[in-house]
Structure 1
Amino acid sequence: MSENSAAAPERSGGGLAYILGATAVAGGIGYIIQAAVPAFVDQAQYVVFSVFWSIVYLVVSGLSGIQQEATRASRSTAQGGGWGVLARFAVIYAAIAAVVVAATAMLWAPDVFGADTVPLVAALAVAAVGYAFVAAISGALYGVKDWRGVAGMTVADAGVRLLTVGAAVLLGAGLIAIGWAVAVPFSLAALLIWLIAGRGIRSRLALDADLPTLLRHSLHTVGAAIATGIMISGLPFLLGVTSARDDAALLASLILVITLTRAPLVIPLLALQSYLVVTFRDAAEQVRRRVLVWGSGLLGATVVLSALAVVVGPWVVSLLYGGRYELPAPAYAAIVASAGLTGLLCITGPAALAGGRHRLYLASWIAASAVTVASLFLPVPELPRVLTALLAGPVVGVVVHATGLLRPRVSLSA
């Protein structure tokens, strides 16, 4: 890809369309995989598969911090020369991720993977290594504003996974093969996009930081990404742990409604994190205005959707699931409101990161996740406890971000 071709999507305003389109395709593929696998395995195998899938994407969520820092640091120039540093950055994180997975596996894997522990942990380590390179290449593509390349990476990863998992289940290859079919596409997608766009990245990519600085800054972005994963990907797991002795039917209803209602607001904004970093970074004088305008728009939409959820939510869930999952109507409004507040964090966060405020970025997500987890242990009944956790965490996070963004910037790490 040439510099001119890479810039075309930016001039035509197509960057957002490329990213949202690719996110919709990839998200749809993910739902297809998760809906289809239970039809080809027994219940015990499905439990293991779902846990494996959850852990893979919790690791992916943490490693997405690599992409955020790579995006912030990357620029497009005629000289290039930045890929060597970014490649070493990816190798270091790939090695760290593999070691962490292997070193911690014996603490939890035998309980969930049983006799398949060794091959599935190995597959998880391969997924972590592959995604480290997906994150680095994606960050470079975002930084140089190659929107087609960004969309291609997103769709390639999901598309290859659909093919590999589909082949594994149709051939009856078993749970281990399915696990590897989930894990390997990260590496295959990174290789495919590198073969297509690698020459353009090498020739145009420049970084505003050396390797030690990237590593130091990434401690904040990866830490924030882990906290994000705890609040979003890990939320059903947290509810299961903290509410295991409560009403099982209520817990199931909460998890279902949270899954169905939060995704439309949260997932697109999560997918736009690197795009927003670039947008804020390249128009620093407009950051506060854009945060205010976009945040107000999101909150306005959240109010409308929360009101609709009170009326429509219980009816839709009853229609789809025959009354097996029931919540009070106001709970739907609270859950949708929590999604909007979490989405607001996904706007204020990139604004902080784009300005080099890594500590502020990390502090907000850590505060939000800590309040969420702590609220789940409050000595109150299950429903108000869960709703408090859903709402209080993002409120605290947004307050931390907003307070920091209103203060004059002291240093790049402020």
Structure 2
Amino acid sequence: MPVTPDPAPDATSGGGRLRRALLSGATPILAATVVAGASGYLVTTLVGATRPPAEYAGFAVFWSTLYLVIAALSGLQQEITRGTHPRPADAGLGPRFPLAGRFAASVAAITAVVVLAAAPFITALIPGEGVTPALAIALGTASYVVVAVLAGTLYGLSLWPAIGLMISIDGVLRLVGVVIVILAGGGISELMWAVVLPFPITPLVLWWFLRRQVRGRSQLDVGPRRLTWNIARTLAASVSTGILISGYPLLLSATSVGVPAARLGALVFGISLVRAPLVIVVLSLQSFLVVRFRDNAAHAYRLFVRLALLIALVAAVLAVIAAFVVPAVLDALWPAYHLDGWTVAGLVATSGVLGILCVSGPLTLARGRHGAYTAGWVVAAVTTIGLLLVPLAIEERMVLSLAVGPIIGVIVHTIASRHPGPIDPRDEVLDGPAATDAAAQSTGEVGGAGGEA
């Protein structure tokens, strides 16, 4: 499957070329996001429709825990994306064991060990399934590290069709696996394996088609120590991202002791149902936006403002529509999950605020403000948690926390990203052909997800 890099637009050519480049890269990614998003919707809906509430609760906790850890690890992809550049044609191929590949293998092993060490806690969270949840989460999250590094390299090389294919295959495989388990009469344990197996399968399948376009053709603009330090800071931001997105239902539940289970369940279901369309789309474009902001520094801030206004407008329109449509749909299909119109509107509107935070983050990261990038997400998460403790009705606490936390994070990002960050003296200059570049880049081609590198 030959894929051709999308050339980086010239910042001096004006907004027309920038918009064309933006659309040319975003189209396959957005199309793939629709496929993956629809697959995720169908997975959660099918499981809920075919399992009693008690069983679904265990699956929902597993799903939330899995994606909370994955969200925490997503900073890997962001930093690999930011630091990956095409290797000059006259520099020759990279080493057989590249930095990015070695880093992926190390972090994957560490992730698996940490998750398995937490097996007693995971087992207590999801009773009745033995060690299956811990084993499944360990496999899924360790494999996701490989996915994140490979995807970050593809983004850095602007291989948009390959990225779209990667996103689509992962979602479709997950949906097919879950459908097969349901039709075969499998239980929650089998569903867990169906959810995590696409993580290792997807890079294994795609690597056979992509290795000629990727292997030895990319380099990182930092050395191993600086890469570790940058990723450590982006991972701190990713943990906050996970709290605000994947882990929010767990936070809401933990801060709502005494709230009837049916009421809490309806709100958690509503969060998953109505916030996802906008948040997932913007979140899936994080690495794409890092590349565009990085390669078009002169227009980056203006592009951010336009995207923020567009997201705010779309969220406002969808909030009004959802306030009338979603309660009727819920009452017709899932009457036990009834929500009033204003709660639904609040959830949709706050998804727009979170979406803007998902754009201001890549802007800040692309401009070299790693500390501010982390600070924005951490402040947003801490504020959200604090507002969940305010003595208000659960619906009011929920909407307030989902709105105010991300707003403060956006403010931190936008203030810091007005100017690019200074060159850090800790950045390493390595020997070899890449060191002759102005950026003193170091080699960092992705190792094989299929085991070649």
Q: Taking structure 1 as the reference length, what is the TM-score of the superposition?
A: 0.90
Residue 397 of structure 1 is matched in structure 2 by 409
Is 1:105–2:115 an aligned residue pair? no
Contact 2:364/2:414 (<8 A) preserved:
no
Residue 441 of structure 2 is matched in structure 1 by none
CA-to-aligned-CA distance 1:17-66 (integer Å, 9 cap, x gap):
10011111111122222233356555544333332222221122112111
Q: What is the deviation of 1:315?
A: 4.2
Could you tell me how far apart the structure 2 residues matched to 1:165 and 1:311 are?
32
SS in 1 for 2:219: strand
Could you tell me how far apart the structure 1 residues matched to 2:152 and 2:141 are?
16
Query: Against the structure 1 CA distance between its residues 205 and 17, is the aligned structure 2 distance closer, same or farther, given a 3 Å change threshold?
Result: same
Where structure 1 has 5 or more consecutive residues not aligned to the other structure, the ranges are none
CA-to-aligned-CA distance 1:355-390 (integer Å, 9 cap, x gap):
121111111011101100111111233232222111
Residue 39 of structure 2 is matched in structure 1 by 29
Could you tell me how far apart the structure 2 residues matched to 1:337 and 1:113 are?
32
Contact 2:86/2:157 (<8 A) preserved:
yes
SS in 1 for 2:70: helix
Residue 154 of structure 2 is matched in structure 1 by 141
Residue 263 of structure 1 is matched in structure 2 by 276
Contact 1:318/1:325 (<8 A) preserved:
yes
Could you tell me how far apart the structure 1 residues matched to 2:333 and 2:51 are?
23
Match of 1:352 among 354, 358, 364: 364
Query: Against the structure 1 CA distance between its residues 69 and 240, is the aligned structure 2 distance closer, same or farther, given a 3 Å change threshold?
Result: same
Query: Against the structure 1 CA distance between its residues 60 and 250, is the aligned structure 2 distance closer, same or farther, given a 3 Å change threshold?
Result: same
> After the TM superposition, which residues 14-413 of structure 1 pair with which residues of structure 2 at under 5 Å, given as runs?
14-38=24-48, 44-77=54-87, 78=89, 79=91, 80-81=93-94, 84-106=98-120, 108-322=121-335, 325-327=338-340, 329-406=341-418, 409-411=421-423
CA-to-aligned-CA distance 1:157-211 (integer Å, 9 cap, x gap):
2222233333333333443333222222211111111111012111321110112
Contact 1:9/1:147 (<8 A) preserved:
no
Query: Against the structure 1 CA distance between its residues 86 and 318, is the aligned structure 2 distance closer, same or farther, given a 3 Å change threshold?
Result: same
Structure 1 or 2: more helix by fraction: 1
CA-to-aligned-CA distance 1:263-322 (integer Å, 9 cap, x gap):
222110000000100110100111111111211222233333334444445444444444
* Larger RCO, structures 1/2 (Cα 8 Å, 6+ apart): 2
Query: Against the structure 1 CA distance between its residues 305 and 165, is the aligned structure 2 distance closer, same or farther, given a 3 Å change threshold?
Result: closer
Structural RMSD (CA): 2.6
AA of the residue aligned to 2:239? I
Contact 1:249/1:325 (<8 A) preserved:
no
CA-to-aligned-CA distance 1:59-86 (integer Å, 9 cap, x gap):
2211211111110011113245277110
CA-to-aligned-CA distance 1:70-113 (integer Å, 9 cap, x gap):
1001111324527711001111211221121112221x223233
- Deviating more after overlay: 48-57 vs 318-327: 318-327
Could you tell me how far apart the structure 2 residues matched to 1:390 and 1:143 are?
32
Could you tell me how far apart the structure 2 residues matched to 1:219 and 1:121 are?
24
SS in 2 for 1:349: helix
AA of the residue aligned to 1:98? A
AA of the residue aligned to 1:163? V
Could you tell me how far apart the structure 2 residues matched to 1:251 and 1:176 are?
24
Contact 1:252/1:325 (<8 A) preserved:
no
Could you tell me how far apart the structure 1 residues matched to 2:361 and 2:391 are?
31
Contact 2:270/2:339 (<8 A) preserved:
no
| Identical positions, percent | 37
Could you tell me how far apart the structure 2 residues matched to 1:163 and 1:264 are?
21
Could you tell me how far apart the structure 2 residues matched to 1:70 and 1:324 are?
41
Contact 1:68/1:273 (<8 A) preserved:
yes
Name the count of aligned residue pairs. 410
Could you tell me how far apart the structure 2 residues matched to 1:53 and 1:153 are?
21
CA-to-aligned-CA distance 1:108-132 (integer Å, 9 cap, x gap):
2232333533233122111111111
Q: What is the deviation of 1:9?
A: 11
